Amino acid sequence: MIFASASSDGGGSMLSMIILLVVMVLLMYFLMVRPQRKEEKRMQAMLSTMEVGDAVVTTGGFYGIIIDIGDEDVIVEFGNNKNCRIPMRKEAIAQVEKPEQAAAAKEDAEKDAKEAKNTEKKAVKSAKEETKTAVKK
């Protein structure tokens, strides 16, 4: 029935309907499927580069250090208590941070804090000078 009306009314409307459908499918692919696949590849790469001693964040938000790695499981030590070791699936790891990255991030944070402190001191000093000159006038 649809084909009969399309052929009698004109094939252009049927062709435009098919083109619209194809465009919508492609749009859905690029907006939904492709980013999900990219994220899966990123997670697989992250999990494959995990090593003993790496700092991790679990999907539950807990911070810990990997002390053993198996095929599908890892053992993570949480906090300063050496007795708090929990085995978990690799998929439960949300983020991995290498010790070198942690040290570099800490150094950057300390550097930024020093710069902020120096900037604050300069601002306070200039404000005091402006106050003194305003009082003298």
DSSP letter for each residue of 110-134:
HHHHHHHHHHHHHHHHHHHHHHHHH
Residues 86 and 70 in one domain: yes
CA pair distance 48, 125, nearest whole angstrom: 52
Residues in the chain: 137
Q: Quick one: pLDDT at residue 81? A: 75
Q: State how far the Cα of 51 lies from the Cα of 86, in Å rounded to an integer.
A: 16
Residues 93 and 103 in one domain: no
Same domain, 111 and 136: yes
Number of structural domains in the chain: 3
Cα(134)–Cα(125) distance, rounded to whole angstroms?
14
Same domain, 55 and 93: yes
CA-to-CA distance for 77 and 2, rounded, in angstroms? Answer: 65
CATH of the domain at 74: 2.30.30
| pLDDT given for residue 67 in this prediction | 93
Query: Is the distance from CB of 58 to CB of 76 less than 8 angstroms?
Result: yes
Residue-level pLDDT at 1: 41
My answer on whether 92 and 130 are in the same domain is: no
Q: Are residues 9 and 38 in the same domain?
A: yes
Verify that 67 and 31 share a domain, yes or no.
no
Co-location of 67 and 84 in the same domain: yes
Residue 74 sits in the same domain as residue 60: yes
- Judgement on whether residues 9 and 36 belong to the same structural domain of the protein: yes
* String of DSSP letters for 2-22: HHHHHHHH-THHHHHHHHHHH
Q: Is the domain of 62 the same as that of 74?
A: yes
| Helices (H) then strands (E): counts for the chain | 4, 5
CA distance 98 to 87: 20
Q: What are the mean pLDDT values of the chain's consecutive 10-residue runs (137 residues total)? A: 50 88 92 90 90 92 92 90 88 88 69 79 78 72
Asked if 61 and 76 sit in the same domain, the reply is yes
Domain interval for residue 27: 2-46
